[in-house]
Copies of this chain bind each other. A is one copy, B any other.
Amino acid sequence: MAWNSNLRWRLPITCLVLQLITVVLFGVFVRYDVQADPSWWLEKKTKNLSSDLENEFYYRYPSFQDVHAMVFVGFGFLMTFLQRYGFSAVGFNFLLVAFGIQWALLTQGWFRFFAKGRILLGVENIIEADFCVASTCVAFGAVLGKVSPIQLLIMTFFQVILFTVNEFILLSLIEAKDAGGSMTIHTFGAYFGLTVTWILYRKNLEQSKQRQSSVYHSDLFAMIGTLFLWVYWPSFNSASSAHGDTQHRAALNTYLSLAASVLTTVAVSSVVHKKGKLDMVYIQNATLAGGVGMGTAAEMMVTSYGALIVGFFCGIFSTLGFVYLTPFLESRLRIQDTCGIHNLHGIPGIIGGIVGAVTAAYSSPDVYRLPGIVHSSGFGSYKMEEMKKMQGRSQIFGLLLSLAMALVGGIIVGLILKLPFWGQAADENCFEDSVYWEIHEEVNTVYIPEDLTRKNPSLVPAVPLVLPSPSASICPVPPTPPVSLATPIPSAALVH
């Protein structure tokens, strides 16, 4: 291939330019919200707040920290499952998210937190920014291993804008509810990523197929990501909900839905294997589908058994997607979905959107709960008569809009990323860290315990066994399986 994956000037310039732009725009636009500003004492006085605890910080910061850990640790490590792409998985995720949150603070600020020519910055903004980049993490999962960090930064740049516009239309114009982002984060992120990877289709990807699987330890690293996502997902779906019972309920429903999807994931994973064995890929991913599926309805009156049922089906459909749909998408539709995001975010995202619409349209709160629902949904009570019907329609429209935005946006961004000068790797070098990372020569260090050296010093090589330089660089990355076999070895042997 003629592509040049040397990023020496392109990557630094991209990073610095993007960073300088955000610095300037922050300087022009961003100021502290009154809750983070020394004028808070006045606000407290004016609004007659009894305590510093009424600062939004104390309502939301613990949830924010969980969300933050999910985005950086959770998504980052979830994608380390590939045997030779751990550095890129966790490192590029780190890079794109670090840029994405800054850019999202600006775009979401202009649309949603703008007052008197300024963006007002507080804990809600950083939660929303983390939500926004969660959708870029989702999309990253589709193109993992096949794009350069420059492409990721460009994708993030555009996706954050699209996300913000979509979210603004959904939440502010058509007044759909989507606290945990089944539609705005997961459905949008997944179909955006799938469209991009469809545009970026690589014909000869089977040349690097051998690297597109996991090894023993890489699967354990990925489980770190899975478990932190799973454990903190109740915070994700409740972080931006209204104070009090709404936030409380959102966390409970998510907790239940997630638990149910673990059991059905295990069930389907076992039944599709001819010896009933479990597959780590499904356990790492489909167990999370319950959280995605609760992304819209978590804060609503979905009921506890409703949450379990949603998780039940999300786990099943997500696992079946991995087994049957992903191979189909790849072979027939030319959609090469590295992490299977269609199964973890696409299908459960759509389920979540529909569940949200149905719950909004058909839940029937009794008279004592009505004011609470009005409060948590943010609608004035005058709307209550028609609320249920209308809200259901808004939700469905929001879902469709997210899909449309993802497809159109994905095509445009995909075409931009298809340009040949972004430093992408050749097909045979995909899923390989050493394209973009300096990998240290593997050194066979032999430790020499004191007493042994005395007994039989001749067995101990004086110099550490280092691979000779040329062969060393033939196999610079020995993630687990280290035998390199590089230089001509007389007869046989060797194996691994």
Contact = CB atoms under 8 A, between A and B. Distances in A.
Nearest to A34: B245
Interface string A468-496: 10111111111111111111111111111
A473 to B, nearest CB: 6
A374 to B, nearest CB: 9
A461 B490 contact: no
A172 interface: no
Contacts of A270: 7-8, 11-12, 15
Nearest to A125: B252
B252 A123 contact: yes
Contacts of A252: 32, 36, 121-123, 126
Contacts of A98: 258-260, 262-263, 287
Nearest to A53: B53
A275 B475 CA distance: 17
A444 interface: yes
Given A249-B37, A445-B210, A491-B490, A219 B480 contact: no
A268 interface: yes
A73 interface: yes
A321 interface: no
A432 interface: yes
A278 to B, nearest CB: 5
Given A278-B438, A479-B217, A245 B484 contact: no
Contact of A464 (B31, B52, B55, B210): B210
25 contacts: A12-B266, A12-B268, A12-B271, A18-B263, A24-B305, A36-B252, A37-B369, A41-B372, A44-B244, A51-B53, A53-B243, A87-B219, A91-B278, A98-B263, A102-B308, A280-B438, A442-B484, A446-B475, A449-B476, A455-B470, A460-B486, A466-B484, A484-B496, A485-B494, A492-B492
Contacts of A112: none
A479 B216 contact: yes
Interface in A15-51: 15-16, 18-19, 22-24, 26-27, 30-32, 34-42, 44, 50-51
Interface string A222-241: 01100110111011000000
A370 B123 CA distance: 22
Given A12-B267, A91-B280, 8 more contacts: A58-B58, A95-B263, A98-B258, A448-B474, A478-B480, A478-B496, A480-B481, A485-B495
A494 B491 contact: no
Contact of A481 (B375, B444, B461, B487): B444
Contact of A446 (B16, B18, B275, B484): B484
B465 A485 contact: yes
Interface stretch (A60-68, A193-201, A338-346, A405-413): A60-68
A436 interface: yes
Contact of A26 (B63, B305, B449): B305
Interface string A61-94: 1110110110011001100100110110011001
Copies of this chain present: 3
Contact of A434 (B91, B309, B449, B474): B449
Interface residues of A, number: 190
A76 B259 CA distance: 15
Given A91-B278, A251-B61, A273 B438 contact: yes
A256 B104 CA distance: 12
Nearest to A309: B23
A115 interface: no
A360 to B, nearest CB: 14
Contact of A437 (B251, B279, B312, B445): B279
A153 to B, nearest CB: 9
A361 interface: no
A475 B447 contact: yes
Contact of A245 (B40, B50, B368, B477): B40
Interface in A349-395: 365, 368-373, 375-376
B483 A227 contact: no
Contacts of A434: 277, 447, 449
Given A41-B372, A437-B280, A90 B496 contact: no
Interface in A129-145: none
A103 to B, nearest CB: 10
Contact of A465 (B11, B264, B495): B495
Contacts of A484: 442, 444, 446, 465-467, 482, 484-486, 495-496
A149 interface: yes
Given A26-B304, A40-B372, A260-B19, A445 B84 contact: yes
